[in-house]
Amino acid sequence: MEGPNWTTNQEFIFSAFPCSWGDAVLCFVPLLFIYTFIVVGNLVIITVVQLNTHLQTPMYYFISSLSFLEVWYTTATIPKMLSSLLSERKTISLKGCLLQMYFFHSTGISEVCLLTAMAFDRYLAICSPLHYPTIMTPKLCAQLTLSCCVCGFITPLPEIAWISTLPFCGSNHLKHIFCDFLPVLGLACTDTQAIIMIQVVDVVHAVEIIAAVMLIFTSYVGIVAVILRIRSVEGRRKAFSTCVSHLTVFLLFFGNVALMYLRFSAAYSLFWDTAIALGFAVLSPFFNPIIYSLRNKEIKEAIKKHMSQVKIYFS
In whole angstroms, how far apart are CA 168 and each of 90, 108, 181? 18, 26, 14
Considering only CA atoms, which of 140, 56, 153 is closest in space to residue 113? 153
DSSP code, position 172: -
> Would you give the distance in Å from CA 236 to the centre of its chain?
30
- Give the mean model confidence (pLDDT) for residues 53-80: 93
State residue 102's pLDDT score: 96
> How does pLDDT run across 149-194, given as a tens digit for each residue?
999 999 889 889 888 888 887 788 998 899 988 788 888 876 645 5
pTM assigned to the model:
0.87
pLDDT at 205 over 60: yes
C-beta atoms surrounding 39 within 10 Å: 18
Half-sphere exposure of 42 (CA within 13 A, CB side): 24
pLDDT, tens digit (0-9, with 9 covering 90-100), for 234-293: 777 777 777 777 778 888 877 777 676 655 445 556 677 788 888 888 988 998 888 877
| Mean pLDDT (the chain, rounded) | 83
Q: What is the pLDDT of residue 33?
A: 97
Half-sphere exposure of 175 (CA within 13 A, CB side): 13
Q: What is the pLDDT of residues 225-250, one digit of tens each?
A: 888 887 777 777 777 777 777 778 88
Q: Is the pLDDT of residue 42 over 90?
A: yes
Residue 44 has pLDDT above 50, yes or no: yes
From the list 104, 283, 72, 112, the residue with the least C-alpha distance to 181 is 104
In this predicted model, which residue has the larger pLDDT, 218 or 315? 218
pLDDT beyond 50 at 2: no
Model confidence at 200: pLDDT above 90: no
- The CATH T-level fold of domain 11-314 is Rhopdopsin 7-helix transmembrane proteins (1.20.1070)
Q: What is the pLDDT of residue 314?
A: 62
